[in-house]
């Protein structure tokens, strides 16, 4: 029997806890968790009643509690299938890892390790030793270390080498990358003072020379990885900067961005700066990412002259920015692919870049056969992504699912995202587009099943 006060129609916490369906939740959850779920649902129900909604019946409240319980056990971080055609997709976790990298991370994560223990000496060791030799061999550096991402590498290098002093950098390189990370801001955080030279489109060696003074701590170059300045432009080569830094006896820091260890021109792409080339030019400290073109777990890699790297290792920030054991193991396994000259076959990023267009077309046709007669195969471009090679892409074949305009495209893309596993596509040219290049062939069965379900 209802009353004039709908709040009085709500069951008590004890009444709900005594319901057999709610009691059954105790098999999966602790008692405190079940009580919390009940109270959360009652609070939400009271709020809804306060907004003018009627009091729900007991069964509706219990179903809502069960739904809350299922949601509590569902991870918010889930695997997805990337059919966008963007190879290094920052929002989708950047670089997928090789099987060997995943295995290495699993093996180290499941037990103890010699992370900071010298097995030969039987004494405390350093986690820097597990990556340094590989990085030295791959880049030709005197010394190396790794931190948890390239933003951290920039902050550490500036803090250790130029805090309280000026860092000279071209105005064209005062970049902002994803998440609002701006070079001027991180420079201020490090304690270094920005000394910008040149103009947005033209900077000359004489500009750097004029800016160097008693307060200069370093010169810095930042690779404009996510944009291009074209037209009436001028810039200073890294070799010229290195010569100037050596003449004036100041440090040169080079942030090359995406961590490219291979020659991108062999894949039909423009040349991307490499740490090897920077070190050969005479740069003191080179910074780059581990989870972009390098294709490993998230990391910021620092290679260069021994004296400089030792300063970074000893800096207090180095401990705050250090990598965990699983990431170190995964990065070591990824670097092994380069040492073995097998990166194009083993590292997923390079495997996608090198994927033949005929193979992509064959897979796209298999998807089309599953999706039905309304779809088509069209020409398109796969993008590298991750702030690498802006506006550059690779020819590809796309599965195009027409949407008839309006909100239909969003609805279709949403249906793909609601699949298990979720499939992320892109909407373009009045169609939902799926690119096989960024889908692991082992995921094709899941894509085909989803397309059959949608078309039925």
List alpha helices for 74-215, DSSP H. Answer: 99-109, 129-139, 150-162, 183-190, 205-211
Average pLDDT over residues 297-320: 97
The tens digit of pLDDT for each residue in 346-401 reads 999 999 999 999 999 999 999 999 998 789 999 999 999 876 676 678 999 999 99
The whole-number average pLDDT for the span 137-162 is 97
Q: Which own/partner contact pairs does 183-187 have at CB distance under 8 Å and 24+ positions apart?
A: 183/154, 183/222, 186/151, 186/154, 186/155, 186/158, 187/158
Query: Is residue 230 classed exposed, middle or buried when 0-12, 13-18 and 19+ CB atoms within 10 A define those classes?
Result: exposed
The DSSP element (H or E) to which 414 belongs, if any, is helix 408-417
Integer Cα distance of 379 and 54 in angstroms: 55
What's residue 1's pLDDT? 44
Torsion of CA 81, 82, 87, 88, to 10 degrees: -80
Could you tell me the two tokens for 2? 């209802």
Query: How high is the pLDDT of residue 390?
Result: 67
Q: Is the model's pLDDT at 177 over the cut of 50?
A: yes
Identify the residue whose tokens are 């027409």: 402
Q: Which of 48-62, 173-187, 230-244, 383-397 has the lowest mean pLDDT?
A: 173-187
Confidence class for position 182, pLDDT limits 50, 70, 90? confident
Question: How remote is the C-alpha of 71 from its chain's centroid?
Answer: 26
Q: Quote the Cα angle for 329-333-335, to 5°.
A: 115
Mean pLDDT of 189-196: 94
Give the span between the Cα atoms of 157 and 139, in whole angstroms: 18
pLDDT digits (tens, 9 = 90+) for 324-361: 999 999 999 999 999 999 999 999 999 999 999 999 99
Task: Report pLDDT for 128.
Answer: 95
pLDDT of residue 104: 98
Residue 235 clears pLDDT 70, i.e. is over it: yes
The percentage of residues in the chain with a pLDDT greater than 70, rounded to a whole number, is: 96
- How far is it, in rounded angstroms, from Cα 168 to Cα 189? 16
Kindly list the structural domains of the chain, giving each domain's residue range(s) and its CATH number in brackets, ordered by start: 6-73 (no CATH), 81-89+349-455 (3.90.1150.180), 97-342 (3.40.640.10)
Q: Give the N- to C-terminal CA distance of the chain in Å, as an integer.
A: 47
Assess contact for 200 and 257: CB atoms under 8 A.
Answer: no
pLDDT over 60 at 117, yes or no? yes
Q: Are 88 and 292 in contact (CB under 8 A)?
A: yes
Q: Inform me whether the pLDDT recorded for 123 exceeds 60.
A: yes
Cα–Cα distance, 339 to 376 (Å, whole number): 42
Average predicted confidence (pLDDT) for the chain: 93
How does residue 456 score in pLDDT terms, banded at 50, 70 and 90?
confident
Residue 442 burial (10 A CB sphere; 0-12, 13-18, 19+): exposed
d(CA 381, CA 378): 10
Instruction: Give residue 192's pLDDT.
Output: 94
Give the per-residue pLDDT at 405. 65
Can you tell me the mean pLDDT for 39-63?
Answer: 93
Per the CB < 8 A criterion, the answer to whether 306 and 142 are in contact is yes
Asked if pLDDT for residue 2 goes beyond 70, the answer is no
- Residue spans of beta strands (DSSP E) within 6-108: 81-82, 86-88
């Amino acid at each position: 029997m209802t009353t004039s006060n709908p709040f009085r129609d709500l069951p008590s916490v004890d009444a709900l806890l005594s319901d057999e369906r709610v009691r059954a939740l105790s098999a999966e959850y602790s008692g405190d968790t079940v009580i919390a779920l009940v109270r959360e649902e009652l609070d939400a129900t009271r709020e809804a009643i306060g907004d003018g909604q009627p009091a729900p019946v007991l069964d509706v409240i219990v179903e809502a509690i069960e739904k809350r319980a299922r949601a509590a056990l569902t991870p918010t971080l889930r695997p997805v299938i990337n059919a966008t055609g963007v190879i290094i997709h920052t929002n989708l976790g950047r670089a997928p890892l090789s099987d060997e990298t995943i295995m290495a991370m699993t093996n180290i994560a499941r037990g103890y390790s010699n992370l900071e223990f010298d097995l030969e000496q039987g004494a405390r060791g350093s986690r820097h030793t597990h990556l340094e030799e590989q990085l030295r061999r791959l880049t030709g550096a005197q010394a190396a270390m790794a931190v948890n991402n390239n933003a951290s590498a920039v902050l550490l290098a500036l803090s250790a080498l130029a805090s309280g002093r000026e860092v000279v950098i071209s105005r064209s390189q005062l970049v902002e990358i994803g998440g609002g990370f701006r070079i001027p801001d991180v420079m201020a955080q490090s304690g270094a003072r920005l000394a910008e030279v040149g103009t947005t489109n033209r900077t000359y060696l004489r500009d750097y020379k004029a800016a160097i003074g008693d307060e200069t701590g370093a010169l810095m170059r930042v690779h404009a990885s996510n944009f291009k300045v074209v037209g009436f432009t001028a810039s200073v080569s890294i070799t010229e900067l290195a010569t100037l830094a050596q003449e004036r006896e100041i440090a040169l820091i080079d942030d090359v961005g995406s961590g490219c260890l291979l020659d991108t021109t062999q894949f039909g792409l423009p040349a991307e700066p490499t740490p090897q080339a920077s070190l050969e030019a005479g740069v003191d400290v080179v910074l780059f990412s581990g989870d972009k073109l390098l294709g490993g777990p998230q990391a910021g890699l620092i290679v260069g002259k021994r004296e400089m790297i030792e300063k970074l290792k000893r800096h207090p920030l180095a401990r705050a920015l250090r990598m965990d054991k699983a990431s170190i193991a995964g990065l070591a396994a990824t670097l092994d692919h380069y040492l073995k000259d097998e990166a194009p076959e083993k590292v997923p990023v390079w495997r996608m870049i090198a994927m033949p267009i005929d193979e992509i077309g064959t897979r796209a046709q298999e998807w089309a056969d599953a999706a039905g007669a309304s779809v088509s195969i069209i020409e398109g471009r796969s993008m590298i992504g991750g702030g690498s090679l802006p506006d550059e892409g690779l020819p590809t074949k796309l599965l195009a699912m027409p949407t008839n305009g309006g909100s239909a495209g969003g609805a279709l893309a949403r249906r793909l995202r609601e699949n298990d596993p979720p499939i992320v596509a892109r909407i373009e040219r009045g169609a939902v587009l799926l690119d096989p290049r960024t889908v692991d062939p082992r995921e094709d069965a899941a894509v085909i099943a989803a397309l059959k379900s949608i078309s039925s």
